[in-house]
């Protein structure tokens, strides 16, 4: 698993929590811009992409969120019901993408979940 954050303090807190859970050998922590990180990944290289960043940035990252997900993989965007106006552009891109099926899961702050069937 790889986690990406732009804030070193947040990343240090995450590293401490991951180590406390005994998972430090399974998680790669990166300090980077999420959009650029996705742009640099190869096609079909991600099984699950969980987006929990600035929701208004997601459309600017397009098409990389879908390009990097392997066939049968999942994209999950957090805070879909708590910030519907901010998530709407991503939801539209997913709805218009061929072979992509998405739904809103009303748990917590809401999860926009998409599966790719390429």
Calpha distance 75→105 (Å, rounded): 12
Calpha distance 109→102 (Å, rounded): 17
Around 68, how many Cα atoms within 13 Å sit in the side-chain half-sphere?
Answer: 20
Under 8 Å between Cβ of 75 and 65? yes
Share the mean pLDDT of the chain: 95
Tens-digit pLDDT profile for residues 18-63:
999 999 999 999 999 999 999 999 999 999 999 998 999 999 999 9
- Spell out the residues 6+ positions from residue 52 whose beta carbon is closer than 8 angstroms to its own: 77, 78, 79
pLDDT at residue number 43: 97
Structural domains in the chain, sorted by start? 1-32 (no CATH), 44-116 (3.40.50.150)
The answer, yes or no, to whether residue 118 has pLDDT greater than 80, is: no
Q: What is the pTM of this model?
A: 0.91
């Amino acid at each position: 698993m790889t986690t990406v954050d732009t804030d070193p303090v947040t990343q240090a807190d995450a590293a401490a929590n991951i180590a406390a859970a005994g998972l430090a050998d399974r998680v790669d922590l990166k300090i980077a811009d999420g959009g650029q990180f996705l742009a640099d990944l190869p096609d079909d290289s991600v099984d699950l992409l969980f987006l929990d960043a600035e929701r208004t940035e997601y459309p600017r990252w397009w098409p990389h969120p879908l390009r990097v997900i392997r066939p049968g993989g999942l994209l999950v965007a957090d805070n879909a019901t708590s910030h519907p106006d901010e998530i709407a552009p991503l939801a539209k891109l997913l709805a218009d993408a061929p072979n992509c099926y998405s739904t809103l899961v009303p748990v917590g702050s809401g999860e926009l979940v998409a599966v790719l069937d390429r």
